[in-house]
Amino acid sequence: MNQTIAITPVDLSLTAVLVVILAGCSWLLRLGIGWQLLIAATRMVVQLLLVGLVLTWVFGIATLWLVMAWGIAMVAIAGYEIYARQSQRLGRRGYAIGSGAMALSSGVVAILMLVVVVQPDPPWSPQYAIPLLGMLLGNTMNGVAIGMERLTTSMRKQKPVIEARLLLGHSFDQAVMQLRREAMNAGLIPTINGMAIAGLVSLPGMMTGQILAGADPMTAVLYQILIWLGIAGGTGFGALAAVVWTTASLSDDRDRLRLDRLHAKAAE
């Protein structure tokens, strides 16, 4: 295979011109997203460059505790992002649900993939552990956030229906079963859509990166299949745990609906 073609700062600057032109079009058309676009692009560049420097250091040390600390930091940040995306918030309990669901599902799937499937030496090799966990967390985060958001907003809107079912003698689980099912479906739609078009419409990121780096295409395909299956499992179990725990948090031991525990996101 050919060697990887190096990317220079000049190459990146030429690509960045596209973002600058788009921001200029936004300013001319008064769309109001020009500064947001430029700030987001700047943050992305700075964050990735810093991560690249830190990962170089982490890869050189490659200790279990350092990899675990990196993973915990990723879970904590992703948990906050889930909390920030909710229009109906459960406070600290909501943050714990989002973080716990991600850590449980993505952590178990990542350990399974590293110890049983990929089997690097050592199993916590940061070259494998950190990218795999990062991809799992990124996708699981979306599924958990969408599932929780759909469930809480639906329960708020359907409060009279839920209470009517409870008055008719239904258990709380029976009263919210349909809303819970819809929340799970919503959380899994991005993953299902991504798997459905993989290879036909888009070449997923990991596969594309490996091919650009000079890897054999079939090897890249097998790794991408492994990642997609792991993402499906992590996202599915993460969304399931988040939806179940959120449902339990919005009821009490007498099967009463407790929407008073939800607080609307403050207007920005």
Name the residue with tokens 């948090």: 249
pTM of the model as a whole: 0.81
Q: What is the dihedral of CA 246, 178, 149, 132, to 10 degrees?
A: 80
Q: Whole-angstrom Cα distance, residue 107 to residue 75? A: 10
Answer yes or no: do 23 and 73 share one domain: no
Answer yes or no: do 78 and 55 share one domain: no
Segment 219-268, tens digit of pLDDT:
888 888 888 899 999 999 999 999 999 998 888 888 888 888 778 775 44
Q: Which domain holds residue 222?
A: 62-264
Q: How many domains does the chain have?
A: 2
Answer yes or no: do 168 and 178 share one domain: yes
Mean pLDDT of 109-119: 90
**Last residue within a domain, chosen from 13, 42, 61:** 61
Confidence of residue 2 (pLDDT cuts 50, 70, 90): low
Answer yes or no: do 93 and 9 share one domain: no
Q: Whole-angstrom Cα distance, residue 184 to residue 195? A: 17
- Can you give the pLDDT at residue 267? 45
Choose between 61 and 107: higher pLDDT. Answer: 107
The DSSP H or E segment spanning 262 is none
pLDDT at 140 over 60: yes
Confidence of residue 4 (pLDDT cuts 50, 70, 90): low
* Whole-Å CA distances, 184 to 54, 143, 178, 195: 36, 8, 10, 17
Answer yes or no: do 79 and 206 share one domain: yes
Segment 181-213, tens digit of pLDDT:
999 999 999 889 888 888 777 777 777 777 777
